[in-house]
Structure 1
Amino acid sequence: MTPLRLICSLIAWFTLAQPALAITGSRSAPSDAVARALVTVIGPNGVVCTGTMIAPAVLLTAGHCATSQAALRIVDYAATPPRLITPRKILIHPRYNAQDMAAHRVTVDLALVQLPAPMPGKAPLALGTPRLPVVTGAPYTIAGIGSSSPSGSDVGTARAAPLVATGKPGTLQIRLTDPSTQNKRPGMGGCTGDSGGPMLEMQDGRSVIAGVVSWSTGPNFTNGCGGLTGVTPLTLYRDWLVQAARSLGAAL
């Protein structure tokens, strides 16, 4: 099967076999700088995630998106036809626990993926400087490449959604919600297709990465999307990311 047909088959499988999971309720495009940093990550069994370039050949994504190095691929849409890139190396945070993830317990859902070479047309985003405390109502933006609606099949288009922190945000996990719906009815939010995508905040006049999208719920804690978006903040883990990226030959 050619790379293009393989990519189309994987995306079709994802659309048919997975719950309708992507940034929903928003058709807003991220800024050009954010869009240039986003990449499509394909994992085992057709799972689709988002990654963010943080160095010319290193991307940040969710740990649960990168557990199989043998099957993980990055889509290069700049090639004609699009091609699949096999990573050179994957580093998952040592405190990521797949069993905790499956049981919906908090875990460090972070991973770095090293590519063989920089991707044409892509440019990295900077990691933010952690700000404490995180307060309820703090504004953030998430970005990802999932479809625009639960029944959509337009995977691969970069979208963004402005959300706010809710509940009791801390250094281990932040829950985001659409400020206009407050998890009571369907609103904007991220889902599985956007796992690994960045949570962004403004620092010194630019968008920087403050966390990584990990999970989502539907309204009122139902299955699906458009309710809550769970994020692993970089507050406690920025130093690990910097050191791990350095071990891959990248200076952040």
Structure 2
Amino acid sequence: MSHFPCLLPLSLISLALLSGCSRPMTPSPQLETSSGFSIIGGESVPPDSPLQAHVASIVMFRDEDPNWLNVCTGTFLTPEILLTAAHCVPEAGRNDLLRVYRSVDIWKDSVSLKVMGFIQHKGYDPQKSYLNDLAVVRLEAPQDGVKTVDYQRSVPSMPLTWKFLAVGYGRTSGRTSEIDPSGGAGVLRSVELAADFYEPSIFYFKAQISNKQGVCTGDSGGPALYSNVEYDRDWIQSAVTEPQNRSVR
């Protein structure tokens, strides 16, 4: 029996991928990074913010290296199901390598939520491209206080330039140090960005990453949210952020 009986096929979700800096996050000070620019430039999300109820941190571990971990972000589709990026989950069947945290600061939260299962998009192939880099994660039990976000089921009509809110647990800098080996990852933040290129046929858009603002490692799987006043909805998820090479898919 499927662990995801209520989900629509992921192919029906019109999502894009938003990029910034690269590589997984690890607490080891020996982490190497090819990125040398400061990014994000947003604000920490307070615990009582409505944004905190929309997302959670998804952390992946490795058996062979207890000091390695990869921080990502997920968005609640239901009180027990999170939408994230496919590269944020391990090989099939390894639920024990995933932990989910709902705190705005995972380093101060020792309580993790148990994962029942996860599914990657069937079209995901990391060797070819980052298209279809989508996955859903199901928790063992529904969570109280969750606020789900409407997601785009069809290609919307958007202006040439439009603003959205990127939300995630990513780094605040492309560099790490012995003082802060995480690079600032693990704390929920938000930043307003502008899309300056849009291809409606495949819902592809490019974000302006400038003025030391953008997304980075740890924001993968997080939402790009925009307000839809016309339909009286506070937020609609229009993208899953993908910090990889500063392009958007």
TM-score of the two chains, using structure 2 as the length reference: 0.68
Within-5 A mapping of 1:48-59: 48-59=71-82
Question: Tell me, what secondary structure is at the counterpart of 1:161?
Answer: strand
Q: For structure 2, list consecutive stretches of 5 or more residues without a partner in the other structure.
A: 1-24, 62-67
Alpha-carbon distance in 2 for matches of 1:189, 1:118: 32
| Offset, 1:169 | 3.0
Q: Is the 8 A contact 1:26 1:159 kept in 2?
A: yes
Equivalent residues in 2 for 1:1-252, closer than 5 Å:
12-13=27-28, 17=31, 19=33, 24-27=40-43, 29=45, 32-44=49-61, 45-69=68-92, 70=94, 71-77=97-103, 82-100=110-128, 105-151=129-175, 153-170=183-200, 171=202, 173-178=204-209, 181=210, 186-203=211-228, 204-217=232-245, 228=246, 230=248
Identity of aligned residues (%): 24
How far, CA to CA, are the matches of 2:39 and 2:73 in structure 1? 11
Deviation, 1:51, is 0.7
Cα distance change, pair 230–35 in 1 and its aligned pair in 2 (3 A) = farther
Aligned partners of 2:74 and 2:38: how far apart in 1?
Answer: 14
* Cα pair 2:171 2:184 within 8 Å, conserved: yes
Paired with 1:205 and 1:55, the residues of 2 have a C-alpha distance of 17
Give the whole-Å Cα distance in 2 for the aligned partners of 1:229 and 1:143.
17
Deviates further, 106-115 or 152-161 = 152-161
Deviations 1:43-67 (A, max 9, x none): 2441110111111100010111124
- How many residues get paired? 201
8 Å CA contact 1:23–1:159 kept in 2: the answer is no
Q: Secondary structure at the match of 1:34?
A: helix
| Closer, same or farther: CA 81–133 of 1 in aligned 2, 3 Å | closer
1:145-173 CA deviation, whole Å, 9 max, x = no partner? 12333346433322111112233434253
TM-superposed deviation, 1:189: 0.8
Partner of 1:99, secondary structure, is coil
CA distance in 2, matches of 1:173, 1:22: 25
Contact residue 22 and residue 190 of structure 1 kept, 8 A: no
Q: Which runs of 5+ in 1 are unaligned?
A: 1-9, 218-227, 232-252
Identify if the C-alpha distance between structure 1 residues 33 and 81 changes in structure 2 by more than 3 Å, giving closer, same or farther. closer
* TM-score, normalised via structure 1 length: 0.67
Distance in 1 between residues matched to 2:243 and 2:148, nearest whole Å: 23
Q: What CA RMSD, in Å, does the superposition of the two structures yield over aligned residues?
A: 3.1
User: Does the 8 Å CA contact 1:22/1:193 hold for their aligned counterparts?
Assistant: no
8 Å CA contact retained: 1:177, 1:229: no
CA contact (8 A) 1:22 1:146 kept: no
Q: SS at 1:35's partner residue?
A: helix
Note if contact 2:186-2:218 (Cα within 8 Å) is conserved in structure 1.
no
One-letter code aligned to 1:29: V
